[in-house]
Structure 1
């Protein structure tokens, strides 16, 4: 890194320390007269940041403030985020990032990340040279078509890629310079966006068919040429494209889809943990999923692997999993079942959602619909009738799209539900009882997996890595957390979780013959040595 001087140094977010520069540094680096007299260390700067942050009246204003901090002082931003992860992660990512994406063009300030449009066809490799960093290890890419539960947001979806890379840094210690957010801006079918004067994206209908896939293909191959050590994370693609792209590239390059594999792993971890509360054997569980999109399909497929690992045959494993969609229970007599869901279609009468719960009596109910309120009072009460401690996991983001709130789950089940959600909910009170709802946040999984891939230089990313990550995450839940009904660990331990997952991923990479570098015997110390610790 070239050491800058004077105003150029203060304008560089990676090197700027602002008021923390010492007297000697101010003399040596041409900063005298450019800063106030007092020297403030990073802890003092954090107090100023938090004071200003907490004075903001809305979460979107807090998001803008934090983004501005990232643009001017990278180390202070990440140090503050790491030290106050419970408070700041929901502002940097879900649920606030949903609103930020909707408003992205209206709150845009400085460029972050890399944009590729159809007009770049044939030149993607050459324009990647315009990115100022060359040792890229993590790329988060979206095409903006299915942003959280909000749908097609076009180029505004860049907020997702930016947010995910921030989580890699804060939650797993990947160096900021090694992360690249990418927007495949292939147009949008959101007419309101295209008519918005302030919209910044490619203002045409989305590419489809071969034109779309050939552009993605060029991008993926350009990444292999320019950033051969990079892990490619696909994010918020619509369901059909998500699976097609994953199937196309997973055996060629190091890549994964967080909506499919990350969501599946964090959900599986929660189900594992719930068994410590219900005292049921995982292999005995019956699991029902509402939704048949990429998240639900990915959960189902990883659950099959988990049941097989627990001793069941594949047929028996699939018999434990039941899917429900708008038409009711997915059964084999139905026509037009999605190809990924068909193996889970049972020989059973076609019944409604409520009737399916009555007949199947699932131990665990998982929502991945993107539709608010689908776990209504009747559904939650029916689950509570079937089991003393029903497990209800409402995954959909942002909060406005969740299947039910924490307060609803506890109230309708008389406090007996074991609840987790994709977005955070505050502590709930029901009479004299206090409940601390757990958040099934993918930030528990993908940063640690990414760190493990970086550490092992694994050629590919496998499902076994995600199955192992789920087991590690479940094992990280403390007994005192289990005793208050939490099935995930506190977010303030997420870096410890990521460290443990990365070690396990390295071990899987070794066992599967995918690690391209010889790994040291002390994996814990080695992985720790790779983790970025922001400070001055």
Structure 2
């Protein structure tokens, strides 16, 4: 039996009143604290007189002060630390600052700067945020989830730190990723910060330098594998699901050998998805669909080459295949034959089948061995080239020019993060194709003016997809997250790119519209869930209004004493 659609005051962005804390307890609660923004009536009611400066400062002036401090920092890491300190002190102001300066600050709180923060996490650690589930404590997980004070958790982002961006195994230092990802959920789709939980699953690390680092905060043991690893994950999933049965669990930055297995193991048992596989696939497909509006071609006409054959490549390839099939009705195997993947051994082919990882096998080509990217480009003549290799500079001038010889408007997506890992830069792509490339990267590159014409590189940013999908599935209390939801999200996103954006090469909407984008994706995901019988609530009469009413707004609301 479906439940009626409801919207709690928390989910709608209004904290439950009255406030039962007083004095310093209010100031030390980042979800209640207003800093200098408490009006006289609240200072009297909540015992705050003398505990904050005399003058009441409005939130817009507080934003201005915060940005003055952000901009006076000496490095991006310093800016990250300042913003995280604000996050820990005053969450409403933190999100208001981010929303007011979205393009400037999202690269600071997430890619690329979060990679640098994770690399140094033990050295810059200030305050606990989220939960750490250590393999040594696995027998206590059911008890440990009770230590978290919030009962209405809607989204959990969990990593085991085994593949942080393009930086590899960072162990417990990977906690910066769930923290940052959930900030984007709140920022992008309005999940209430109180209803989110970052998690680090500490399985040890094979990074010897970290194990020898005196400031490393995780277990100093080799990373668990096999049954021992699986038992810890199972204990974690059961404990979280028992405490918060309706919560979405998002797997983030797991190594390839674990990412696919865990997704397949849990996707039909619990509400979960892997953003590196499914979210990356959807946002990349959206960019390709936008590029095809420029070239006037169909998805089924494309020949796609991947440099890199890990989780991201498989997720993108699967989503492209789903798009081809939806567009033209082409068969599964025929669609897969439009896609070529290269790993460290060269082209993935059928004659290597016995030695291939399971996730690579569906895209093994019936082809002679081809050793490198240049050979593949000359043989395949791709229209789309996607880099998910983590190998900086691997889209060489020779490779890009060779592709352009056979393709008037090459679609070039060097997606490896952070910026230092990108397969090529935007300037290189435009220079080597005489401005013809349709370009998107994983981390942002600045606009370029070439021959008097402005070119705006797209950022293939998962933030365009996962917040809206997450808001949609938790809003309608979906029983599972399906691949079709991600295809619908990709199609919705591509449809929001205006002709003026396409004219300057921008393949994605302006990120400042992220709340509108996320709302539309959430509605599309909900509509699919209702149509396919996956929703756990009755369909609201006005689904768009229902979604928007759930979205946390970073504004100060009136408090009163209990």
Query: Per the alignment, in what secondary structure is the counterpart of residue 420 of structure 1?
Result: strand
Matched, 1:487 2:487: no
Partner of 1:195: 212
CA distance in 2, matches of 1:446, 1:391: 23
- Worse-matched range after superposition: 163-172 or 337-346: 337-346
Say which SS state the counterpart of residue 182 (structure 1) adopts. strand
Q: Of 397, 405, 409, which residue of structure 1 is paired with 2:417?
A: 397
Structure 1: which 4+ aligned runs deviate by more than 3 Å? none
The question of 1:333 aligning with 2:371 is answered: no
1:358 maps onto 2:375 in alignment = no
The 1-side partners of 2:28 and 2:361 are apart by 55
Distance in 2 separating the partners of 1:273 and 1:207: 42
- What do the CA deviations read for 1:232-265 (whole angstroms, capped 9, x no partner)? 0000000010000001001110000000000000
In structure 2, distance between residues paired with 1:276 and 1:214: 47
SS at match of 1:196: coil
> Is 1:372 the equivalent of 2:392?
yes
Q: Residues 399-456 of structure 1, C-alpha deviation per residue, up to 9 Å, x if partnerless?
A: 1111111111111111111110010111123343321111000000111000001111
Q: Which residue of 1 aligns with 2:265?
A: 248
Could you tell me which residue of structure 1 aligns to residue 239 of structure 2? 222
Alignment of 1:116-515 (within 5 A): 116-311=133-328, 312-335=330-353, 336-351=355-370, 352-515=372-535
Are 1:80 and 2:97 an aligned pair? yes
> Normalising to structure 2: TM-score of the pair?
0.94
> How far is 1:341 from its partner?
2.0
Q: What runs of 5+ residues in structure 1 fail to find an aligned partner? A: none
What secondary structure sits across from 1:36 in the alignment? coil
- Structure-2 residue corresponding to 1:54: 71
Query: Retained in 1: the 8 A contact 2:271–2:481?
Result: yes
Partner of 1:101: 118
Q: Say whether residues 1:519 and 2:542 are aligned partners.
A: no
| Matched residue, 2:12 | none
**Corresponding position of 2:10:** none
Instruction: Give the whole-Å Cα distance in 2 for the aligned partners of 1:42 and 1:343.
Output: 53
* Aligned partner of residue 307 in structure 1, secondary structure: helix
> What is the CA–CA distance in structure 2 between the aligned matches of 1:228 and 1:315, rounded to whole Å?
37
Structure 2 CA distance for aligned equivalents of residues 448 and 245 of structure 1: 23
Aligned 8 A contact 2:260 2:359 in 1 = no
In structure 2, how many angstroms separate the alpha carbons of the residues matched to 1:206 and 1:315? 37
- Equivalent residues, number: 536
1:496 Cα deviation from its structure 2 partner: 0.8
- Following the alignment from structure 2 to structure 1, what is the Cα–Cα distance between the partners of residues 383 and 138? 50
Contact 2:182 2:196 in 1 (8 A): yes
Structure ranking higher on relative contact order (CA contacts 8 Å, 6+ apart)? 2
Please give the alpha-carbon distance, in whole angstroms, between the structure 1 residues aligned to 2:362 and 2:45. Answer: 68
CA distance in 2, matches of 1:356, 1:7: 64
Cα distance per residue 1:377-397 (max 9 Å; x no partner): 111111211111100001110
Distance 1:154 1:325 in 2: 25
Q: Deviations over 1:199-243 (max 9, x none)?
A: 111111111111110010011011111011100000000001000
SS at match of 2:351: coil
1:351-385 CA-partner distances (Å, limit 9, x unpaired): 23112111211111111111111111111111211
The separation in 2 between residues aligned to 1:493 and 1:3, in whole angstroms, is 36
| Structure 2: 5+ residue stretches without partners | 1-15, 557-562
Secondary structure at the counterpart of residue 435 of structure 2: coil
